[in-house]
Amino acid sequence: MTGYERTHSVGPHRVGRVIVYTLLILFALYYLMPLFVMIATSLKSLDEIRAGNLLALPREITFEAWAKAWASACTGVDCSGLKGNFMNSVSFVVPAVVVSTLIGAFNGYVLTQWRFRGSDAMFTLLLVGCFIPFQVVLLPMAQTLGWLGIANSTLGLVFVHVVYGLAFTTLFFRNFYVSIPAELTKAARIDGAGFFTIFWRIILPLSPPIIVVCVIWQFTQIWNDFLFGVVFSSGERQPITVALNNLVNTSTGVKEYNVDMAAAIIAGLPTLFVYIVAGKYFLRGLTAGAVKG
């Protein structure tokens, strides 16, 4: 950081600062507004919502709406809240993230450290996978799942998301591993390490920064996915995104805004959690010692 020259705040410079900060704060408030409305509404009683202002703080804080959204709100005919669907989501998101990340790491390792004839062409083909819209693969995927006998199952959803995510995870890891000097693999080969030993003992230990990026990306994508969830699962196996939609659209008389808001926040919490926890582990420069300093 020695190259930076410290500029002292003088006249016009300071004015610029003030403008920048004012704008930033305004935009931050603007973007935080919906979240504020959601949290405030979820903590209000239905009477208060009907009577009061959308932006007002709750007069009396109540967690009833949260309890209902979690355990007893109706999603269609079933009235047991989101808790089952939340666990559904966890049960296919976690394996899908882990498997797609591992395979992505493995692909990246092969594409960079064990280049073969046509490895670049292979990578390009994989890249194309990133540009295929969800809708295009729906029908062929349904067919494939049927053939494999895993249609309408958790395993099926894991499979769909792993296949769809591979293009992205491979891209992440390939681009990360490209900067690892090939000499590292060569040295390990001369030391007697084989293909898998090098992957487990040398390459994977260097990967935490990109694993974090990949996990955040995959978790967000798969957790927030609605289309695959609604198409390839049904009934009590539905993921939370589908259940949230059903919950909001199921109206039995009164529209319960507080329950809708609480449910929406519950559905969004895990991704928020992943960002906050994993974001800390964005370690950089782990390979600094491998190449010249």
Partner 1 sequence: MGALSIRNVTKRYGATEVLRGIDIEVEDGEFLILVGPSGCGKSTLLNMIAGLDSITSGEIAIAGRVVNELSPKDRDIAMVFQSYALYPNMSVRQNISFGLKIRKVPHDKQQEIVARVAKTLQIEHLLERMPSQLSGGQRQRVAMGRALARDPTLFLFDEPLSNLDAKLRVEMRTEIKLLHERLGATIIYVTHDQIEAMTLGDRIAVMKDGVVRQLATPQEVYDNPADLFVAGFIGSPSMNFIRCAVAQGDGRLGVQLHEGSEGSEGFFFPAPEPMQQALNAWTGREVILGIRPEQITDKTAYSGQNPNVVTRLAKIEVVQPTGPDTLVLIHLNDTPVTCRVHPEAGARPGQPATLLFDLSKLVFFDPQTEKRIA
Interface with partner 1 (CB under 8 A): 181, 183-184, 186-193, 197, 201-202, 205-206, 286-293
Residue 146 vs 181, nearer CB to partner 1: 181
Which secondary structure element, helix H or strand E, spans residue 182, and what is its range?
helix 182-190
Residue 120 vs 236, nearer CB to partner 1: 120
Residue 37 vs 290, nearer CB to partner 1: 290
Q: Closest separation between CB of residue 192 and partner 1, Å?
A: 4
Q: Which residue matches tokens 């494939």?
A: 144
What's the Cα-to-Cα distance from 258 to each of 31, 48, 57, rounded to whole Å? 20, 10, 13
User: How many other C-beta atoms are found inside a 10 Å radius of the C-beta of residue 56?
Assistant: 13
Contact 275, 216 (CB under 8 A): yes
Residue 151 vs 184, nearer CB to partner 1: 184
Nearest to 69 by CA among 271, 257, 270: 257
Q: Left, alpha or beta for 253 (phi > 0: left; psi -120 to 50: alpha)?
A: left
Helix and strand totals (H; E) in the chain? 13, 0
Which secondary structure element, helix H or strand E, spans residue 88, and what is its range?
helix 83-113
Residue 155 vs 204, nearer CB to partner 1: 204
The rounded distance, in Å, linking the Cα atoms of 274 and 279 is: 8
Nearest to 69 by CA among 251, 254, 264: 264
Query: What three-state secondary structure class fits 44?
Result: coil
Q: Closest separation between CB of residue 219 and partner 1, Å?
A: 25
Residue 24 vs 286, nearer CB to partner 1: 286
The rounded distance, in Å, linking the Cα atoms of 164 and 229 is: 13
- Who contacts 90 (Cβ-Cβ below 8 Å, separation ≥6)? 270
Token pair recorded at residue 185: 């693999």
Residue 8 vs 292, nearer CB to partner 1: 292
